Structure 1
Amino acid sequence: MKRKICLAMMLAFGMAGAAFAAEHEVKMLNKGAAGAMVFEPSFVRAEPGDVIHFLPTDKSHDVQSIDAMLPEGVAPFKGEINKPYDLVVTAPGIYGIKCSPHFSMGMVALIQVGDAPANLEAAKVVKLPKKAQQRMNADFDQVK
C-alpha cells in the first residue's frame, strides 16, 4: 500500500512540473517592428522545459540552430520551410536561432534559458553576417 501511495505521489509531482512549463510564441515575419525578415519577438527568456512555438506567419521561413550557439549537450536542430516548429528548451544557456533562407538579411533570434548562461561569451564571438550580427547584438543586450 505504501508503495502505491509513493508511486502516486511521484507521478503527481512529475505531472505538476510539466504543468508549470511555459509556452512562448515567436512569429516568422517578412516585415515586423524591427524591419524586414524578422522573428518577433527576437529575444525570449525561458526556463528549462519551456516550449518555444515558431510560427511561419509569412511564407518561405524556417527555424534552425546557429552552429556554436547552443548550450553544451544540445543537438543542432532544423525545421522545415513554411512549417511550425516547436522547440523544447532542455538545458540552461544561450540558443542562437536563424531562418536559413534569410540569415544574411538578419533574420535571427536569441533564447536565454535560465540565469547566467554559461555559453554567453562563446556565443558572442560567433561570426554572423553583418545584418544578423547587428540584430543579434541587440538581443545580447537583453541577456541578464
Structure 2
Amino acid sequence: MDQVQLEVLRAEAIAADRSFSKGRLRDEFRMKPKPDATPVAHYKNGYGGTFGVYRIADCLPMRERKAAAPSPKQVRAAAILALKGRMQSKVAKASHVAVQWLATAPLVLDAETTNAHPTHVLGAGMFVGCSVFIAAGSVVGSFYSLRMLLKQSA
C-alpha cells in the first residue's frame, strides 16, 4: 500500500471516529497510540489476556519503513544459507546416494522392460523394487529403496 492510499484510509477512519487495537493500528494504518492516550475500551481474547482499544484520532503515524540495501556480509550470509539449505534437502541427499551407487559401475536389472521379476533374479523372498542395482556381485540398492530414503529423511 502506498502512502496516498494509507492517508486516505486513515482519514476515513478518523472521520468515522473508529477505534482499533494496537496490532490493527500498526498493521493496517501504520499508527501507534500517543504516550498519554488511554484506551476507550478493553477486550478479552481467548487466552484470557485483556487488550486496549484506542481511538484512531488519539494515535500518531509511525515512521516510514526504510528499505536499506543489505550489507556485503548479509548478502554473503544469505548465499551461504541458501547453499546449505540446498545441500541438506531431500533431493540432495537422494542424489548423493544415487551418485555413490553409480560410482560402483552397477549392473541395472530393470524388471519392467525385461519382464524379469527381481525375485526371480535375486532369489525367492527378496523383493526390492522394479529396478535393482548390482555391483560387485551384491545388491547395492533400488529405486524403491531410494524412494524410501526420501520418505525417511522427511
TM-score when normalising by structure 1: 0.24
Question: Which structure has the larger Rg?
Answer: 2
Q: Name the structure with the higher strand share.
A: 1
